[in-house]
A and B are shown apart, each in its own frame.
Chain A
Amino acid sequence: MLYREAGQFKASYKADQQIFPIRQDRIAIGLILAFFYLVVPFIADQYWLQAIIIPVLIFSLAAIGLNILTGYAGQLSLGSAAFMAVGAFGAYNFMLRVPGMPILAAFVLGGLCAAAVGILFGLPSLRIKGFYLAVATLAAQFFIVWALTKFGWFSNNSSSGVITAQKVEILGYTFASPRSKYLITLVVVTLLALAAKNMARSTVGRAWMAVRDMDVAAEVIGIRLMRTKLMAFAMSSFYCGVAGALYAYTYLGTVEPEGFNLDLSFRILFMIIIGGVGTVLGSFLGAAFIVLLPIGLDNLLPVLFGNVLPTGITSNLQLIVFGGLIIFFLIVEPHGLARLWQIGKEKLRLWPFPH
């Protein structure tokens, strides 16, 4: 009754090409954005902002990046954390070496560095497919982290490559409090997420999906494989790079190359699998799930078993539950949390009538 497209006629090209063609969707998105922009900054305390909401937003961005590559273009990658590292270190170096560099420009340039590196490591994808490619992207993961640790130039010769992010300052205003950092993260993530949503249905996005579904067929109908695949790598790495820069500047403040290890890559991969491959919404849901799960387990386990468990057991129990939940989710809903929303949408269309 509430969620029905009937009667919403599209009378202009502009109306036909909106990112959210259904009025209820637009209202919902508007409400959600209003909630996150106007309500959350006032109700969330420092812990929530810093430990939960900011990382969820940043990981959502990285997950969107990986989703572009894996979900839309079908190229499995295990190196997304390394591209985040490139973004973080790129932004750091631009801020460090260019006097008066605006921070947002540094984020973009960091993302562009990541994109360039992404194109480089995407070159093998022109020849290699599937799991062979996945393993090949591990080369990027290990090589980039090694290079950032090994060559002091990247981290301004600090020990073991640790960098401390500079102040985030725009037009003389310093973003120091968690609330202001949250807002700047939110702005970047909103813009890029909307751009991704838009890109997914553009020529490029459709070309990606054609390549994903069958690259030989895509080539036959005139899609240039090389350009499309490298574009996917570049775009994906750009998103990961910006996420990495945010990770350093608005979330942790101090990062080291080792922090962007294979574990982080896997976590981002989990986010898109659990959230839903090939959806922007799924990236957000997956990121929220993966960030909240360990925190939830931390709080839940003492409640269930009391405080008698030694920490060794708790951490192992966490591993077991984490692994088990991933398997459980894959079995119950292989298309991810975003699929649940799809199903809900179908139901809403009919509600409250049974047929």
Chain B
Amino acid sequence: MNFFFEVLIGGLLSGVMYALVALGFVLIYKASGVFNFAQGAMVFFAALTFVSIMELGVPFWPAFALALASMVVLAVVTERVVLRPLVNQPQITLFMATIGLGFLIEGLAQGMWGAAVHGLEIGIVDEPIAWTMDNWGIGVSTFDLFAAGVSAVLVTVLAVFFNKTRVGRALRAVADDHQAALAIGIPLQSIWRIVWAVAGFVALVAGVMWGARNGVQFALTFVALKALPVLIIGGFESVAGAIVGGLIIGASEKIGEVYVGPLVGGGIEGWFAYMVALLFLLVRPEGLFGEKHIDRV
């Protein structure tokens, strides 16, 4: 039983890491209706920029600020070059554009900083906490706990930002109805810039956390693929959904890996999460927290 709980807790905590990436998708989808496939590339770009600046000898926080600045620049350029000319195009066109954007960002990141694998040390060791080990016999990684803490802080900050600030309210208004928001004088373009910049910030945090765990390398772009099932379980429009979806996916993936994997010969982590997500979708086609829309003829 202890082993089961260890697997479950490990899964929940790694689910938090997925949720971190999924958050970036949700932010952009909420505010601009764009399914941003470049999010994985953005995570990679942010992490690589951050780690490369740090390797130049810059301390942690200034490097973080510089990487954040580069993400803001990226957001502004993206809005100007990609989103603005594609206003009013069907969603699939925008989706394709973000795939193109993903290629561009990947090429840019590797072109600027090289394709080498970088280690990233943020001073958190990845080992089980002794206390839980002694008392309950359950191993919980400190790193995972730290990641969970960071995500909790991030979600709280985002929730406050969305609900209490002027800009946050404007973002929600744009998410509800582009035209109505424009009509009451909310500048759509600057809202998009802000939301892409915030998504860049989330990507940076996610990139640092994932980079610290697996090393900063090209494989970071595939993290986005892990976040997609999270996204469809939680619903594209819901920040809370991203978190809950992350927990569900993380837990079921770990449990599946340990208990189902051996039955079919292992290697199931590539698709298991998608199957779980599919089952959820059959019951709730808009995800758990997605907005239900009523179709009218």
Q: Which of A's residues lie within 8 Å of B, judged by CB?
A: 70, 76, 124, 127-132, 134-136, 138-139, 142-143, 145-146, 149-150, 214-217, 220, 262, 266, 269-270, 273, 277, 312-313, 316-320, 322-327, 330-331, 334
Contacts and interface: CB of A to CB of B under 8 A. Distances in A.
A128 B285 contact: yes
Chain B residues touching A, range: 35 or more
| Max count, chain B CB within 10 A of own CB: residue among A134, A139, A318 | A139
A305 B97 CA distance: 28
Main secondary structure of the interface of A (DSSP, over half): helix
A270 B96 contact: yes
Nearest to A331: B85
B295 A330 contact: no
B1 interface: no
Interface in B74-110: 81-82, 85-86, 89, 91-93, 95-97, 99-108, 110
A138 B271 CA distance: 8
B107 A146 contact: no
Interface in B263-297: 264-265, 267-268, 270-271, 274-275, 277-278, 281-282, 285-287, 295-297
Given A323-B104, A326-B99, A327-B100, A127 B236 contact: no
B114 interface: yes
B240 interface: no
Contacts of A325: 100
Contacts of A327: 81-82, 97, 100-101, 104
Interface string B22-35: 00000000000001
Given A136-B274, A139-B274, A313-B111, A319 B103 contact: yes
Interface in B213-270: 225, 228-229, 231-232, 236, 264-265, 267-268, 270
B54 to A, nearest CB: 22
Contacts of A262: 225
A316 B95 contact: no
Nearest to B287: A132
Given A135-B231, A330-B97, A124 B282 contact: yes
A313 B111 CA distance: 6
Given A132-B287, A139-B277, A316-B111, 16 more contacts: A124-B278, A131-B236, A135-B231, A136-B278, A139-B274, A142-B270, A145-B270, A146-B271, A266-B99, A273-B93, A320-B107, A323-B104, A323-B105, A324-B104, A327-B100, A330-B97
B115 interface: yes
B185 to A, nearest CB: 27
Contacts of A334: 86, 89, 93
A130 B232 CA distance: 11
A310 B286 CA distance: 48
| Max count, chain B CB within 10 A of own CB: residue among A76, A131, A216, A217 | A131
Nearest to A312: B115
| Max count, chain B CB within 10 A of own CB: residue among A127, A262, A327 | A327
Contacts of A269: 96, 99
A217 B295 CA distance: 9
Interface in B103-138: 103-108, 110-111, 114-115
Given A146-B270, A216-B295, A135 B229 contact: yes
B103 A322 contact: yes
B274 A142 contact: yes
A142 B35 contact: no
B112 to A, nearest CB: 9
Contacts of A143: 271, 274-275
Contacts of A312: 110, 114-115
Nearest to A313: B111
Interface of B: 35, 81-82, 85-86, 89, 91-93, 95-97, 99-108, 110-111, 114-115, 225, 228-229, 231-232, 236, 264-265, 267-268, 270-271, 274-275, 277-278, 281-282, 285-287, 295-297
B91 A130 contact: yes
30 contacts: A124-B281, A124-B282, A131-B95, A135-B232, A135-B277, A136-B232, A136-B278, A138-B274, A139-B274, A142-B270, A145-B270, A150-B264, A150-B265, A215-B295, A217-B297, A220-B297, A273-B92, A273-B96, A312-B114, A312-B115, A313-B111, A316-B107, A316-B110, A317-B111, A320-B103, A323-B102, A326-B96, A330-B97, A331-B85, A334-B89
Contacts of B81: 327
Given A131-B95, A269-B96, A214 B297 contact: yes
B25 to A, nearest CB: 10
A136 to B, nearest CB: 5
A139 B100 contact: no
B39 to A, nearest CB: 13
B101 A323 contact: yes
In order of increasing CB-CB distance, the 7 nearest A-B pairs are A323-B103, A319-B107, A326-B100, A323-B104, A139-B274, A320-B107, A142-B271
A131 B271 contact: no
Given A323-B101, A330-B86, A139 B108 contact: no
Contact of A139 (B102, B114, B278, B296): B278
A87 to B, nearest CB: 20
A226 to B, nearest CB: 14
B111 A330 contact: no
Given A130-B91, A214-B297, A266-B99, A320 B278 contact: no
A69 B229 CA distance: 22
A128 B281 contact: yes
A330 B278 contact: no
Contacts of B89: 330, 334
B271 to A, nearest CB: 4
B108 A320 contact: yes
B275 A139 contact: yes
B261 to A, nearest CB: 11
Contact of B86 (A217, A317, A319, A331): A331
